[in-house]
Amino acid sequence: GAGVSQSPSNKVTEKGKDVELRCDPISGHTALYWYRQRLGQGLEFLIYFQGNSAPDKSGLPSDRFSAERTGESVSTLTIQRTQQEDSAVYLCASSPPLGLAGGEQYFGPGTRLTVT
């Protein structure tokens, strides 16, 4: 079946502009996660959606970052007034409900964001 897809694969934007990144999770996966990976670094958790529960936004680095999810499908991560330090690969992952099959997360290919 289809895996997690993300678009665009690459995005170059000017400092100060807003960007919107999209994630399509695996069908049937109720949980969706966003992570950020700076060059040569590990992954930083940003936000987590689980079904109809309130999202866990504890990893969002500033109020310039926000994310939405439509039901149990598509999610968009929005970064307003981009800064150069926002340059990174943004990874989306989805997983079955917690407690089922251990909830391992399946990752998309990422969106490489470059802020000039």
Partner 1 sequence: AQKVTQAQTEISVVEKEDVTLDCVYETRDTTYYLFWYKQPPSGELVFLIRRNSFDEQNEISGRYSWNFQKSTSSFNFTITASQVVDSAVYFCALRSNTGKLIFGQGTTLQVKP
Of residues 59-88, which lie at the interface with partner 1 (CB under 8 A)?
Answer: 59
Q: Can you tell me which of 11, 43, 64, 80 binds partner 1, judged by CB under 8 A?
A: 43
Q: What's the rounded Cα separation, in Å, for the pair 66 and 2? A: 26
Amino acid letter, residue 101 = A
DSSP character at residue 54? P
Query: Considering Cα of 65, then 66, then 72, then 74, what sign does the dihedral take?
Result: negative
Q: Is 91 in the site for partner 1 (CB under 8 A)?
A: yes
Greatest Cα-to-Cα distance within the chain, rounded to the nearest angstrom: 42
- For partner 1, which is the closer residue by CB, 33 or 65? 33
Q: CB of 40: closest distance to partner 1 in angstroms?
A: 9
Q: CB of 116: closest distance to partner 1 in angstroms?
A: 21
Q: Is 55 in the site for partner 1 (CB under 8 A)?
A: no
> Which of 31, 23, 33 lies closest to 2, judged by CA?
23
| Three-state DSSP state, 19 | strand
Give me the residues that bind partner 1 (CB under 8 A), please: 31, 33, 35, 41-45, 48, 50, 56, 58-59, 89, 91, 93, 95, 98, 102-110
